[in-house]
């Protein structure tokens, strides 16, 4: 018998205990259905059997009016008694094959999975879909398993490659983080979620119609969007060197035209030179660290830089990134010295799963630590040795893994969107002799990302349909532009007669950044696409 085809995109899991005072269950459910819920799971943990059966029947009657299927959590007897379309089983519930033998053959069976191994077992047991999570912490249910974040969801989705088992993510998903969840969970093989399961954002809402509609609009926009990375090279013609040279110049012009605010949480070694580099490029720096101000700031900034060279404000970094994702602005993450301590490694993983970085930037030692590779070693904030044997493959793979643009710095710099790889051969040895040159590259990349995304936003009609993009503008080109700005300004500065060494080089570099033009970038850029 053929299985029922469900639309898993906005999967509501009920919980009558979450209803706000004076809200009736069926009334809330109907509003949610009108708002765009596509599938409903009746989840009743404490009521008596008779009451659960009554709620399930009434739920089915209402959902039938909207042609929305009903799944029963755990209780096969209830599912049988009221003719449910499916059942959902937890890891400690009835095994899938036994449930399958008891239920009508067209019943859809879902299974909760918290690890890739759980997913493997669910496939072998014949589950029709998996509920994967927890994506983030939630008030709804005590999470027994560690939060896996969107990247952990991506690892589970990859196990589903080649099967027709569907997947929805669960735990802590709401309209402010749903795009991050959908976007960040696409596996390196391109496997994406079939939907998201939502509980409290709808059930605890005073206005379940508005809550569901917000979620439904964002989800539909995501599935409509053809773009799957922060670059535009996939949807249009392949990148060409000449096109990149022109595009970085127009981003520099946008930086000067819009003078976007570039929010930087950076280390106390480089704060001043980073703020001055931002000003020199024509943008406006704000170095703010308090978690309490992140929601306000992220509404008005052009981009965020998180550089954790001297971690003192992890909560501020978490809040800043979450809010910047909500406002769909670019985030550049520079995990300075990440390999040096366990605290830095754990903090980097925490940040990378709390929000979606647009650009991940580091030297070889730092990116090796992020990738769990022992190929390159580090000493504090510095990379040791010659770097990766095959940097192009390394950056491409890391970009796919983290769903972002990767910038690998060194004597030669490498930038990838997971498909294209640019090798950038500008720069000067004096950059290696001052502290904070890598940090300044991060600042310049954030400034170019701010310029590109501000220009893209300005070019959109106020009533344009939501395109489901987490960030607008070409971030691959913006990242290249940021690297070129520092390395080309460094070449010009180093050639000056008044530059005698690293002490005189730094102010000259800031001067030359201020004078840098689109024409300088185009004429001096040494770019190869590999
Ligand atoms: N010997 C060099 N020749 C040319 N450019 C260099 C040299 N050393 C560093 N750079 C440039 O300086 C910037 C910072 O890179 P890097 O030294 O890797 O960062 P970090 O300070 O984080 O270790 C990069 O854009 C890189 O191209
Ligand atoms: C020395 C130092 N210590 C903590 S942050 C920092 C600056 C690192 O700068 P960069 O990574 O750009 O060389």
* Mutation to probe ligand 2, out of 266, 267, 367 (largest number of atoms < 8 A from CB): 267
CA–centroid distance, residue 486 to ligand 1 (Å) = 10
pLDDT of residue 235 exceeding 60: no
Closest CA to 232 of 246, 218, 244: 244
- Kind of pairing, strands 405-409 and 413-416? antiparallel
312 plus 372 within the same structural domain:
yes
* Mutation to probe ligand 2, out of 435, 441, 487 (largest number of atoms < 8 A from CB): 435
Q: What is the pTM of this model?
A: 0.91
> End of a domain among 182, 197, 224?
224
155 plus 18 within the same structural domain:
yes
> Residue 125's domain spans which residues?
10-224
505 plus 384 within the same structural domain:
yes
200 plus 247 within the same structural domain:
no
Domain count, the chain: 2
Closest CA to 320 of 290, 348, 343, 349: 290
b/e code 450-484 from CB counts within 10 Å (16+ = b) = bbbbbbbeeeeeeeeeeebbbbbbbbbbbbbbbbb
Query: Residue 401 belongs to a domain with what CATH number?
Result: 3.40.1190.20
Are residues 222 and 182 in contact, defined by beta-carbon separation less than 8 angstroms?
yes
pLDDT of residue 467 exceeding 90: no
pLDDT of residue 5 exceeding 90: no
* Distance separating alpha carbons of residues 397 and 75, to the nearest angstrom: 43
- C-alpha 239: how far from its chain's center? 24
291 plus 421 within the same structural domain:
yes
Closest CA to 304 of 254, 252, 265, 350: 265
pLDDT of residue 184 exceeding 70: yes
Looking at residue 115, the DSSP 8-state letter turns out to be S
Pocket of ligand 2 (CB under 6 A): 267, 269-270, 309-310, 336-337, 381, 435-439
Q: How confident is the model at residue 380 (pLDDT cuts 50, 70, 90)?
A: confident
> End of a domain among 224, 254, 275?
224
Catalytic hit among 113, 404, 439, 449: 439
Asked if residue 234 is part of any domain, the answer here is no
Average pLDDT of the segment spanning 235-240 = 76
Closest CA to 513 of 255, 330, 307, 243: 255
Return the SS3 of 360. Answer: strand
> End of a domain among 191, 224, 257?
224
Query: Residue 102 belongs to a domain with what CATH number?
Result: 3.20.20.70
| Residue in this structure with the two tokens 């490659």, named with its chain if needed | 161
CA–centroid distance, residue 370 to ligand 1 (Å) = 19
268 plus 170 within the same structural domain:
no
- Look at ligand 2, atom 7, and give the residue with the nearest C-alpha: 436
CA-only gyration radius of the chain, Å: 25
Supply the pLDDT for residue 120. Answer: 98
Q: Which atom of ligand 1 is nearest to the CA of 409?
A: 18
- Look at ligand 2, atom 8, and give the residue with the nearest C-alpha: 436
Pocket of ligand 1 (CB under 6 A): 363, 382-383, 409-411, 413, 427-429, 431-432, 437-438, 441, 483, 486-487
Q: How confident is the model at residue 382 (pLDDT cuts 50, 70, 90)?
A: confident
- C-alpha 294: how far from its chain's center? 18
Closest CA to 176 of 326, 318, 322: 326
pLDDT digit string (tens) for 91-123? 999 999 999 999 999 999 999 999 999 999 999
Supply the pLDDT for residue 138. Answer: 67
Asked if residue 132 is part of any domain, the answer here is yes
Closest ligand to residue 271's CA: 2
* Distance separating alpha carbons of residues 25 and 37, to the nearest angstrom: 15
* Distance separating alpha carbons of residues 199 and 204, to the nearest angstrom: 8
Supply the pLDDT for residue 153. Answer: 95
Asked if residue 236 is part of any domain, the answer here is no
Q: How confident is the model at residue 15 (pLDDT cuts 50, 70, 90)?
A: confident
Asked if residue 2 is part of any domain, the answer here is no
- Mean residue pLDDT of the chain comes to 94
CA–centroid distance, residue 436 to ligand 2 (Å) = 5
Are residues 366 and 377 in contact, defined by beta-carbon separation less than 8 angstroms?
no
Are residues 108 and 85 in contact, defined by beta-carbon separation less than 8 angstroms?
yes
pLDDT digit string (tens) for 136-156? 876 555 557 788 999 999 999
Supply the pLDDT for residue 254. Answer: 98
CA–centroid distance, residue 493 to ligand 1 (Å) = 15
Asked if residue 96 is part of any domain, the answer here is yes
Q: Which atom of ligand 2 is nearest to the CA of 267?
A: 5
pLDDT digit string (tens) for 295-318? 999 999 999 999 999 998 999 999
CA distances from 248 to 427, 474, 483, 492, 526 (A): 17, 10, 10, 18, 13
138 plus 175 within the same structural domain:
yes
Asked if residue 403 is part of any domain, the answer here is yes
Give the chain's length: 530
Supply the pLDDT for residue 466. Answer: 82
pLDDT of residue 353 exceeding 90: no
20 plus 119 within the same structural domain:
yes
Supply the pLDDT for residue 233. Answer: 56
CA–centroid distance, residue 434 to ligand 2 (Å) = 10
Residue 22 burial (C-beta neighbours within 10 Å; 0-12, 13-18, 19+): exposed
pLDDT of residue 87 exceeding 80: yes
* Distance separating alpha carbons of residues 149 and 200, to the nearest angstrom: 18
Six token digits for residue 502: 């690293």
Q: Which atom of ligand 2 is nearest to the CA of 307?
A: 5
352 plus 219 within the same structural domain:
no
Supply the pLDDT for residue 2. Answer: 59
18 plus 132 within the same structural domain:
yes
CA–centroid distance, residue 308 to ligand 2 (Å) = 9
Q: How confident is the model at residue 332 (pLDDT cuts 50, 70, 90)?
A: very high
400 plus 453 within the same structural domain:
yes
Catalytic annotation on 439? yes
What's the half-sphere exposure (Cβ side, CA atoms, 13 Å) at 447?
A: 33
Closest CA to 174 of 141, 152, 149, 197: 197
Q: What pairs with residue 12 in β-bridges?
A: 40, 198
Asked if residue 229 is part of any domain, the answer here is no
Average pLDDT of the segment spanning 240-244 = 94
Average pLDDT of the segment spanning 272-295 = 97
> Which span out of 1-5, 178-182, 497-501 was modeled with the highest average pLDDT?
497-501
- Look at ligand 2, atom 3, and give the residue with the nearest C-alpha: 309
312 plus 195 within the same structural domain:
no
* Distance separating alpha carbons of residues 152 and 155, to the nearest angstrom: 5
Asked if residue 321 is part of any domain, the answer here is yes
Supply the pLDDT for residue 142. Answer: 59
SS (H, E, C) 28-79: HHHHHHHHCCCEEEECCCCCCHHHHHHHHHHHHHHHHHCCCCEEEECCHHHH
């Amino acid at each position: 018998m053929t299985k029922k085809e469900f639309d898993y995109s906005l999967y509501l899991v009920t919980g009558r205990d979450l209803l706000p005072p004076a809200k009736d269950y069926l009334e809330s459910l109907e509003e949610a259905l009108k708002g765009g819920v596509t599938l409903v799971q009746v989840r009743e943990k404490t009521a008596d059997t008779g009451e659960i059966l009554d709620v399930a029947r009434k739920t089915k009657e209402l959902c039938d009016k909207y042609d929305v299927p009903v799944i029963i959590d755990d209780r096969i007897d209830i599912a049988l008694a009221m003719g449910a379309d499916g059942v959902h089983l937890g890891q400690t519930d009835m095994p899938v094959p036994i449930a399958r033998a008891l239920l009508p053959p067209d019943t859809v069976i879902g299974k909760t999975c918290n690890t890739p191994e759980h997913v493997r077992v669910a496939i072998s047991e014949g589950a029709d879909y998996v509920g994967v999570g927890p994506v983030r912490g939630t008030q709804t249910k005590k999470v027994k398993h560690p939060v896996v974040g969107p990247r952990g969801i991506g690892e589970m989705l990859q196990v589903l490659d080649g099967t027709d088992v569907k997947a929805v993510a669960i735990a802590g998903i709401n309209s402010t983080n749903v795009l991050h969840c959908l976007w960040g969970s696409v596996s390196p093989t391109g496997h994406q979620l079939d939907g998201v399961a939502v509980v409290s954002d709808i059930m605890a809402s005073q206005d379940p119609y508005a809550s569901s509609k917000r979620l439904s609009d964002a989800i539909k926009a995501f599935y409509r969007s053809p773009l799957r990375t922060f670059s535009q090279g996939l949807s249009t013609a392949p990148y060409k060197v000449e096109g990149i040279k022109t595009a970085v110049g127009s981003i520099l012009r946008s930086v000067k035209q819009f003078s976007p605010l570039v929010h930087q949480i950076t280390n106390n070694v480089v704060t001043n030179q980073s703020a001055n580099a931002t000003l020199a490029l024509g943008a406006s720096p704000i170095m703010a660290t308090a978690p309490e101000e992140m929601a306000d700031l992220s509404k008005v900034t052009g981009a965020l830089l998180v550089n954790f060279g001297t971690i003192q404000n992890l909560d501020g970094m978490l809040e800043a990134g979450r809010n910047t994702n909500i406002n769909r602005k670019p985030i550049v993450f520079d995990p300075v010295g990440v390999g040096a301590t366990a605290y830095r490694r754990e903090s980097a993983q925490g940040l990378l799963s709390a929000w979606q970085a647009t650009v991940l930037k580091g030297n070889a030692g730092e990116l090796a630590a992020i990738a769990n590779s022992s190929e390159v070693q580090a000493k504090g904030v510095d990379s040791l040795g010659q770097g990766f044997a095959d940097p192009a493959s390394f950056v491409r793979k890391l970009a796919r893994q983290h769903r972002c643009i990767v910038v690998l710095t060194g004597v030669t710099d490498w930038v990838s969107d997971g498909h294209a790889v640019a090798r950038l051969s500008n720069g000067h040895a004096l950059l290696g002799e001052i502290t904070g040159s890598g940090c300044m590259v991060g600042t310049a990349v954030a400034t170019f990302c701010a310029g590109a995304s501000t220009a893209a936003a300005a070019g959109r009609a106020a009533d344009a349909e939501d395109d489901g993009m987490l960030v607008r503008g070409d971030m691959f080109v913006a990242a290249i532009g940021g690297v070129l700005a520092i390395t080309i300004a460094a070449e010009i500065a180093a050639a000056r007669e008044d530059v005698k060494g690293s002490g005189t080089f730094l102010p000259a570099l800031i001067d030359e950044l201020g004078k840098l033009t689109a024409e300088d970038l185009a004429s001096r850029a040494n770019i190869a696409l590999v």
